[in-house]
Chains A and B, each alone.
Chain A
Amino acid sequence: EAGVVQSPRYKIIEKKQPVAFWCNPISGHNTLYWYRQNLGQGPELLIRYENEEAVDDSQLPKDRFSAERLKGVDSTLKIQPAELGDSAVYLCASSLVGRVNEQFFGPGTRLTVL
């Protein structure tokens, strides 16, 4: 069974540029999460989707970050414009509905903002 797929694995951009990350969850997993992991820290939740609905986006910086999961499967996380402080690893995870305790993580996208 394929795991959570993320692309790209690495992205280097200049500040003020836009950037987008893509995630394909495990087949059948209705719940999808985006986390941000700063260097030397643990992951922090940005947004959680149940199917196509964002049920928890309280930690998403809405002035520059946006996310979508239009068909309840793949998801895209966007930053526009990027700032230096956005440099981090962006992790996607998925689980069955109501089974947050069994999250499966993708390899992440390492973003460097110059």
Chain B
Amino acid sequence: AQKVTQAQTEISVVEKEDVTLDCVYETRDTTYYLFWYKQPPSGELVFLIRRNSFDEQNEISGRYSWNFQKSTSSFNFTITASQVVDSAVYFCALSDLDQTGANNLFFGTGTRLTVIP
């Protein structure tokens, strides 16, 4: 069964601090995708990144970076020099292949990040 665990329910940091959001996943599939989504107060889920199970290269996009480690089944997300606009709920998600050959998304419970000015 697929499972995504985000152990940090809430995190508060002061502006300009770095912060890492943890994500641990479980799956029996050898092929899968991992995602991070941002959900600001407006409610709309915003796609941040997608990673497939065969690509363990870390990725950096501006102030965002992601560390994918298959050995520990983790896909952590770091925000460098946090800003107030980063305040949101962040979801890690896993997609598998179902019987139709398509994928379903399984979300973690989210981490609420508050950046204090």
Contacts and interface: CB of A to CB of B under 8 A. Distances in A.
B34 to A, nearest CB: 10
> Of A41, A100, A102, A110, which is in contact with the most chain B CB atoms at under 10 Å from its CB?
A100
Interface stretch (B65-73, B76-84, B107-115): B107-115
B42 A102 contact: no
Which size bracket describes the interface of A in this complex?
20 to 34
Interface in B1-59: 4, 9, 33, 35, 37, 42-47, 50
Interface of A: 3, 31, 40-45, 48, 50, 55-56, 89, 91, 93, 98, 100-108, 110
Interface of B: 4, 9, 33, 35, 37, 42-47, 50, 91, 93, 95, 98, 100-105, 107-110
The 4 A-B pairs with the shortest beta carbon distances in the complex, nearest first, are A42-B107, A100-B103, A105-B45, A107-B44
